[in-house]
Chain A
Amino acid sequence: MSHTAKRTSRRTSRRTTERTGSLLWHVVVIVVVLIVIYPVIWMLGTSFKPATEIVTSNSPWPLHWTLHDFTSGWSANPGVTFGRFFVNSLVISVLAVVGTLFSCSLAAYAFSRLTFRGRSVMFAGMVATILLPYHVLIVPQYAIFKTFGWINTDLPLVAPKFLATEAFFIFLMVQFMRGVPREIDEAARIDGCGPYRTFLWVLLPLTRPALITSSIFSFIWTWNDFFTQLVYLNDKSKFTVPIGLSLFVDQTGMTSYGPMMAMSVLALLPVFLFFLAFQRLLVDGATSSGLKG
């Protein structure tokens, strides 16, 4: 009798230590998450604060809720609303994603599957362009686009993406395609596929995880890109979200924190949603490509 009682008590004590262990673990994790997420909470809270409360109150949560920051931020710039900036940013980012996927996957296919003269030299050259700092390129690029008459249009921001200038994505896709066994290509060739159809029907579906990664990064990078958009866009009506946000920060004087935070919250939404939608696909893609290795 006593033996069983002992055993049960030992079992419950083990269970309680397990439970306190997991409780402790959760507390630690939640604390870490709170620390990491604090700036976002602060931003969210600040966007609902009245102007006087932002510098005076230490609480991340507003004492008096107001939507004023959103309305004043939305129409802060004369003659143009933030909605315009969102549309502009969205157009540029979506075109950049389309361009990157189209051009980089083709380039990656060529580098990983086709044999042609100078392939390794060209590949090395392509990778080397990753090492070029942006500031070296900006002036020659500006001069070229100026002779094209492309200044103050979206073309300098979008056209290069259709010409596979993003070496990082090509490299990513090449590495991924190299992981796909060549036997699959050969099987396709036996079934009568040429290089184009092999690419379209065999390789492209198998590199889906790499494509999704590329689209997520390409979208976020373009959405957040500031300097290129600043240099090429002059008209207020062509401005993008990052330029619009920067106009709230006045280094020489007052920064309108409230409206800036309100618009930052809105600016984060598309990136957040984009990631949310594609992240599922990313995991999905990684598990379904079971053919590998």
Chain B
Amino acid sequence: MKTTVATVRRTRPLHAAAVATAVLASLGLSACSGGGSGDSADGTVHLSFSWWGDATRAKSTEAAIKVFEKAHPKIKVSTTYAQFGPYNQKLATQMAGGGAPDLIQIDWGNQSQYAQSNTLMDLSSGPAKVDFSGLDPKFAGSGKSGDKQVALPFGQATQSVVVDVTKLKSLGVPVPKPGWTWNDVASFGKAVHDKSHGKVSGITDPGITWAAFQSWLDQRGTSLYTKDGELGFTQADLEGFWNFCDALRKSGAATPANQTTTFSNGPAEDPLAKGTTVAEWDYDSIYASHAAANKDQLALLPLPSVNGKTGMYAKPSMLLSVYAGSKHPKEAAELLGFLINDPKAAKALGTSRGMFPNLKARASQAADATGGDKVVSDFEKANQAGLSPTPTAPPKGDGQLITLMQREYGSISFGQESVKAGAKDFMTQAKQALAK
């Protein structure tokens, strides 16, 4: 089954954030008129709904909308979709120009920004009240900004390590077991490197991945951001992570710099797909794409742990919000509630956005899962208990730090900079990005 993937991968285009920032900052909130939808004389309400994704996701989403329209004959929904990067640029323009759709799919990284400019409605009370009691309250809390529920998760993803089982078998290296530690990563990687005579690395270098660093910090009791949206870690923390990765790479356990840089191009062009590595950090929602890009048998492993703590958490792969300028907040909220709660929606939507938000519907969906979907839902079930609480939404500027991490670690791994100098650069630039 072709499943498209939910979580935004490691690169989040800077543009979108930059445009959105500029646009929202310059205009403030000019959103006074409605969401660009009108009413017919016969009382039919016209809603607009937009999301990002490709044609496959469009098919499943439109199927879900049809089910909703059948149950609500007085509501007509017009949908629109685009690719992730352009979608966010368009949304920023629409928000600033006062013409965003009634129901919007938003990215977690943009949530704080839109919440601050008051463009999203409160979903816990008022006209756009949604019943989200069927969701894990900690997970639903990811859509909170202050005490306002500005968004609700539209899919759940969790961090994982994708491993190539076939290749490990042929090399004679055992597949690591859940509960493995960072030291196990080093020895496992070295074994793969030696058995393949240096042709294959054990793991794609995690040093460029912002979210891998996030779990590393969580294992040590700190976090990426404080509650006020400032950096929650010190330069020494970052140096610790990078020193470990640097040693991994130098020993051959992790991929060399030129291969690591291809990691952000998507599963089809990853080192894992090219066969130059046997393990790779990624969100489990991307699993289907890895499986499609790879002929070998793959499996999902939890992240390496420290004292049994993996630092994995339930991440909203995307969220749904009702636009503050919507003329029909009640109907938009009704559609939102349907899309995150109803088992019929779960059936139509499939897993293209990650695990379904409503727990009951998720369980029934998991019971019918086959193939890659089954791998992911089994993985989620096995790790549900050990998950760390979902952190609050990342502050504005998070997207820039993702690329900053890639750039700084890139120059370290290419040998242009020492770990210490790179970490120092990162800290100064990150503080500037967050202060904007």
Q: Which of B1-33 contact A (CB under 8 A)?
A: 2-9, 11, 19, 22-23, 26-27, 30, 33
Chain A CB within 8 A of B83 CB: yes
CB distance from B53 to the nearest CB of A (A): 7
Chain B residues lying within 8 Å of A78, measured Cβ to Cβ, are 55, 58-59, 62
Q: Tell me the bound Cα distance from A151 to B78 in angstroms.
A: 14
Measured between alpha carbons, how far is A139 from B20 in the docked complex, in Å?
10
Decide if A234 touches B267 in the complex (CB within 8 Å).
no
Q: Is there a chain A Cβ closer than 8 Å to B89's Cβ?
A: yes
In the complex, the answer to whether B4 meets A139 with C-beta atoms within 8 Å is no
Quick one: which of B46-84 are within 8 Å of A by CB? 48, 50, 52-55, 58-59, 62, 78-84
Quick one: which of A135, A139, A152, A250 contacts B83, CB cutoff 8 A? A250
How many pairs, one residue from A and one from B, have CB atoms within 8 Å of each other in the complex? 118
A105-143 interface mask toward B, CB cutoff 8 Å, 1 = contact, 0 = none? Answer: 000000000000000000000000000000100110011
A71 to chain B, nearest CB (A): 14
Per-residue 0/1 for B90-118: is the Cβ within 8 Å of any A Cβ (1 yes, 0 no)?
A: 10011011110100000000000000000
Of the stretches A171-179, A241-249, A265-273, the one at the interface is A241-249
Contacting residue for B268 out of A55, A77, A142, A230, CB 8 A? A55
Which candidate, B197-205, B286-294, B342-350, B377-385, is the interface stretch facing chain A? B286-294
Is there an interface contact between A250 and B53, defined as CB atoms closer than 8 Å?
yes
CB within 8 Å for A230 and B90 given contacts A247-B55, A251-B84, A251-B85: yes
User: What is the interface of chain A mostly: helix, strand, loop, or mixed?
Assistant: loop
Q: Is the CB of A77 within 8 A of B96?
A: no
Give every chain A residue within 8 A of B391 (Cβ-Cβ).
none
Chain A nearest CB, measured from B352 CB (Å) = 9
Which chain A residues lie closer than 8 Å to B30 at the CB level? 143
Q: Are A139 and B93 in contact (CB under 8 A)?
A: yes
Q: In this complex, what residue of B is CB-closest to A146? A: B99
Decide yes or no whether A287 CB sits under 8 A from chain B: no
Q: Which residues of A contact B93 (CB under 8 A)?
A: 138-139, 142, 231
Interface positions, chain A 210-261, Cβ under 8 Å from B, are 226-227, 230-231, 234-236, 243, 246-256
A281 proximal to B (CB < 8 A): no
Are A253 and B267 neighbours in the complex by a CB distance under 8 Å?
Answer: yes
- The 8 Å CB contact of A252, one of B9, B27, B98, B99, is B9
Contact A143 B97 (CB under 8 A): yes
Out of B2, B9, B86, B286, name the residue touching A226 (CB < 8 Å).
B86
Q: Does B36 contact A (CB under 8 A)?
A: yes
Beta-carbon contact of B7 and A252 below 8 Å: yes
A234 touches B86 (CB 8 A): no
Judge whether A146 and B80 touch: CB under 8 Å: no
A253 and B36 contact, CB distance less than 8 A: no
Contact B83 A249 (CB under 8 A): yes
| Chain A residues closer than 8 Å to B11, beta-carbon distance | 251
* A76 contacts the other chain (CB 8 A): yes
Chain B CB within 10 Å, residue with most, of A135, A246, A254:
A254
Residue contact A247 to B78, C-beta cutoff 8 Å: no
Q: Which residue of B lies closest to A54 (CB)?
A: B268
Give bound CA distance, A150 to B239, whole Å: 54
Taken together as a complex, chains A and B put the C-alpha atoms of A138 and B89 apart, in Å, by: 11
Interface residues on A, range: 20 to 34
Task: Kindly state whether residue B273 has any CB partner on chain A within 8 Å.
Answer: yes
Q: How far does the alpha carbon of A57 sit from the alpha carbon of B286 in the complex, in Å? A: 24
Q: Please measure, in the bound complex, the distance between the C-alpha atom of A249 and the C-alpha atom of B52, giving whole angstroms.
A: 11
Asked if residues A55 and B293 are in contact (CB atoms below 8 Å), the reply is yes
**Cβ–Cβ < 8 Å partners of B4 in chain A:** 250, 252-254
* Given known A-B contacts A55-B273, A252-B4, A252-B7, A227 and B97 have beta carbons under 8 A apart: no
- Pair A246/B82 contact, Cβ less than 8 Å: yes
Top 7 A-B pairs ranked by shortest CB distance?
A253-B5, A142-B97, A250-B54, A234-B80, A253-B289, A143-B97, A253-B4
Report 19 cross-chain contacts, Cβ distance below 8 Å, ordered by A residue.
Answer: A77-B55, A79-B62, A139-B26, A139-B97, A146-B98, A230-B86, A230-B90, A231-B90, A234-B101, A246-B82, A246-B83, A247-B81, A249-B54, A251-B8, A251-B11, A251-B83, A253-B3, A254-B2, A254-B292
Chain A residues packing against B (C-beta within 8 Å): 55, 76-79, 135, 138-139, 142-143, 146, 151-152, 226-227, 230-231, 234-236, 243, 246-256
17 new A-B contacts at CB < 8 Å, known A146-B99, A256-B54: A55-B273, A142-B99, A146-B33, A151-B36, A152-B36, A231-B90, A234-B101, A236-B80, A246-B83, A247-B82, A248-B55, A249-B83, A250-B4, A253-B4, A253-B5, A253-B266, A253-B289
Spell out B's residues near A (CB within 8 Å).
2-9, 11, 19, 22-23, 26-27, 30, 33, 36, 48, 50, 52-55, 58-59, 62, 78-86, 89-90, 93-94, 96-99, 101, 266-268, 273, 286, 288-289, 292-293
